[in-house]
Chains A and B, each alone.
Chain A
């Protein structure tokens, strides 16, 4: 019964999401497109960065590989197989990246992931110009016949990414990953094959991120290395997961929601307040301030903090009841 009740709210939320296209303008549908897309990629990142505690700052690597795999293959093998190919290629590429980066721990791992993404950005811009057209950009074939359908594609992607992470996180693997996050050495001594499980999390994460990249490319219709391999993409995914709550199930969605609407609001409202002078720069400042405040005062993210707070209150109420009973 309790298990059943836990499902009611997610389903209600999903129904609400499904109603949005009937009430919102195409612009807001596109905003939701990016919320769902980046929430999906955020869920994927969460497996590695949240549950396993391996701070990847280079998820743009998989995002970009997925985007380019789709863009280059779709005209030849069709859109469906191209998405599959994007998934396979980003997963395959994650194996060597994981083997290299997971030799390092903590900040060194984080730095290595930045380096890999940056390396791919430079390669796609300069070395593989014949293939990627470099910064001149590639035109990308659409995935669906009507642009408004991308809303559903992104929603579907997010639901799948959520389901995969939810299943993994509540399984034995999820607990192994959390054990690695809490204390990798202890996890190893209790015979958890830590390199294997970390790699496993990264492969699943890369697969989902690659699919996200292909959806991004198809929706935009054109890509250049800077759009998909840039640190901006990596950072956005990390920020939204940390803002919402790294290592919580719903964190990335809440984070994506807030970041996208904050960015939209700042661009359109604050940016036009003339007395602020260069108000657009001020908008960026506010955006940065939000992130700093959350990291300083809510290190568990919004979902994590609220959950902790409610748990604390419940315990408090419980304690009051017991003392009253005495």
Chain B
């Protein structure tokens, strides 16, 4: 065996690596942005910026939602900086990509703490990554504001440092059941969900609530978002003739599911969904006529009564040309919640910010924010229906901007 020579080369490589490392370790370079690297933690350094760390999915399966979140953060950042920043400092955001994976998300927390002295974490996007981020933030004893991850277990790790802005998959299921009860003509239900953390949680919640509200679950199907041909599964659903179908889907799969439901003539009185793919701004365009009449439990709509909602919608559209959904809004609100908490704490200090968050009471364009003892914000869920390519809020009645329209069979649609 010629061990020696590779060994020498290995040593050279290691040395080179260590030199590179020394460079990275001391200067804190290597992540996005040039100035303000020493930002947040170094109070009194004369540096007049505050660097906050955001973890989201810029690449990978959830990148579409990561992009939406980034737009929300950017609009909030512009507003906050124009109004004088946080604690008199201009704010800079560092976005770290979790590549839609829990392993990367956990590493991102390490990077934010090591290189940016983060005292608070914003993000990530998905429920799968959120669990890992919550565990990590807990070991550093710094708070994590979770804007979008709806899976129930995110706030059940026992951590005192997790604060979730959005309503959960339980709330989605409950809102849909309430609406169906009010309608009174549904008895049977089929659940179709993607098989990752979000879909699994949504499924579990709906099975539970369907039982409570007296709906019979006649079919419960799971699928992988990696496949995009769901016709065989939808045929099985069709054979059970459910009154209601409840989907828990991300974006591309939501479009494929509805288009294929139309193709195989799968009819139901109510096509309902746990928001997400059925709530993104592009869904009505992408799914076209197949999207009509679908009902989605969601967190927010531009028509919401809270001040700033419509303005936010217009700002995102003007700046990025996109149609923002609640994913954008939750990120936007998260930065405002962080601002409020840091200012109430009076210092950029993890423990103080956590305590401020625990007792926070504030109004945002996303609605009132107040976290309970598990770190969950009591956010109301709305149900929207797509009517003529537009999202119309139909439930609850005090938030409704239109009437729920009955879903005609595919054969009777134009």
What residues of chain A have their CB less than 8 Å away from a CB belonging to chain B? 5-6, 9-10, 12-13, 16-17, 20, 23-28, 30-31, 34, 125-126, 129, 134-137, 139, 147, 169-170, 220-224, 226-227, 232, 245, 248-251, 253-254, 257, 261, 264-265, 267-269, 271-272, 280-281, 283-284, 303, 306-307, 310-311
CB of A298 to closest CB in B, whole Å: 13
Query: Can you name 10 A-B pairs with beta carbons within 8 Å?
Result: A16-B15, A221-B106, A222-B135, A254-B9, A271-B58, A280-B58, A280-B59, A280-B63, A303-B9, A310-B5
- Interface pair A20/B21, CB less than 8 Å apart: yes
- Interface pair A267/B97, CB less than 8 Å apart: yes
Task: Answer whether residue B219 sits at the interface, using C-beta atoms and an 8 A cutoff.
Answer: no
Given contact pairs A137-B128, A224-B102, enumerate 10 new A-B contacts (beta carbons under 8 Å).
A16-B18, A24-B21, A30-B107, A135-B199, A137-B102, A139-B157, A249-B1, A271-B97, A281-B59, A303-B10
Within B77-117, the residues touching A (CB, 8 Å) are: 96-97, 99, 101-103, 106-107, 110-111, 113-115
CB of B32 to closest CB in A, whole Å: 4
By beta carbon, the residue of chain B nearest A221 is B135
Residues in A neighbouring B59, C-beta threshold 8 A: 280-281, 283-284
State which size class the interface on B falls in.
35 or more
Contact partner of A224 (CB less than 8 A), chosen from B4, B24, B30, B197, is B197
Task: Answer whether residue B368 sits at the interface, using C-beta atoms and an 8 A cutoff.
Answer: no
Contact partner of B17 (CB less than 8 A), chosen from A136, A249, A257, A303, is A257
Residues in B neighbouring A284, C-beta threshold 8 A: 59
Inter-chain CA distance A68–B390, complex, in Å, is 45
CB of B136 to closest CB in A, whole Å: 7
CB of A99 to closest CB in B, whole Å: 29
- Interface pair B107/A10, CB less than 8 Å apart: no
Task: Answer whether residue B232 sits at the interface, using C-beta atoms and an 8 A cutoff.
Answer: no
Inter-chain CA distance A232–B99, complex, in Å, is 12
Residues in A neighbouring B3, C-beta threshold 8 A: 6, 249-250
- Interface pair B102/A222, CB less than 8 Å apart: yes
- Interface pair B103/A28, CB less than 8 Å apart: no
- Interface pair A250/B10, CB less than 8 Å apart: yes
Task: Answer whether residue B196 sits at the interface, using C-beta atoms and an 8 A cutoff.
Answer: yes
Residues in A neighbouring B135, C-beta threshold 8 A: 139, 220-222
- Interface pair B6/A13, CB less than 8 Å apart: no
Within B318-371, the residues touching A (CB, 8 Å) are: none
Residues in B neighbouring A9, C-beta threshold 8 A: 4, 7-8, 10-11
- Interface pair A28/B11, CB less than 8 Å apart: no
- Interface pair A261/B32, CB less than 8 Å apart: no
Contact partner of B6 (CB less than 8 A), chosen from A126, A248, A264, is A248
- Interface pair B10/A13, CB less than 8 Å apart: yes
- Interface pair B14/A6, CB less than 8 Å apart: no
CB of B60 to closest CB in A, whole Å: 9
- Interface pair B195/A134, CB less than 8 Å apart: yes
- Interface pair A257/B13, CB less than 8 Å apart: yes
Residues in A neighbouring B102, C-beta threshold 8 A: 137, 220, 222-224, 227
Residues in B neighbouring A223, C-beta threshold 8 A: 102
CB of A72 to closest CB in B, whole Å: 16
Task: Answer whether residue B132 sits at the interface, using C-beta atoms and an 8 A cutoff.
Answer: yes
Residues in B neighbouring A251, C-beta threshold 8 A: 6
Task: Answer whether residue B153 sits at the interface, using C-beta atoms and an 8 A cutoff.
Answer: yes
Contact partner of B7 (CB less than 8 A), chosen from A169, A250, A268, is A250
Task: Answer whether residue B33 sits at the interface, using C-beta atoms and an 8 A cutoff.
Answer: yes
- Interface pair A221/B32, CB less than 8 Å apart: no
- Interface pair A16/B14, CB less than 8 Å apart: yes
- Interface pair A137/B153, CB less than 8 Å apart: yes
- Interface pair B18/A20, CB less than 8 Å apart: yes
Contact with A along B167-205 (1 / 0, CB 8 A): 000000000000000000000000000011101110010
CB of A246 to closest CB in B, whole Å: 13
Inter-chain CA distance A284–B9, complex, in Å, is 27
Inter-chain CA distance A185–B8, complex, in Å, is 36
- Interface pair A25/B197, CB less than 8 Å apart: no
Residues in A neighbouring B128, C-beta threshold 8 A: 135, 137, 224, 226-227
Inter-chain CA distance A166–B151, complex, in Å, is 46
By beta carbon, the residue of chain A nearest B59 is A280
Given known contacts A227-B102, A310-B5, A13 and B14 CB-to-CB distance under 8 angstroms: yes
Task: Answer whether residue B22 sits at the interface, using C-beta atoms and an 8 A cutoff.
Answer: yes
Contact with A along B127-149 (1 / 0, CB 8 A): 01001100110010000000000
Inter-chain CA distance A28–B29, complex, in Å, is 13
Contact partner of B2 (CB less than 8 A), chosen from A224, A268, A311, is A311
Given known contacts A135-B197, A136-B197, A139-B157, A222 and B114 CB-to-CB distance under 8 angstroms: no
Residues in B neighbouring A227, C-beta threshold 8 A: 101-103, 128
- Interface pair A226/B110, CB less than 8 Å apart: no
CB of B322 to closest CB in A, whole Å: 15
- Interface pair A137/B131, CB less than 8 Å apart: yes
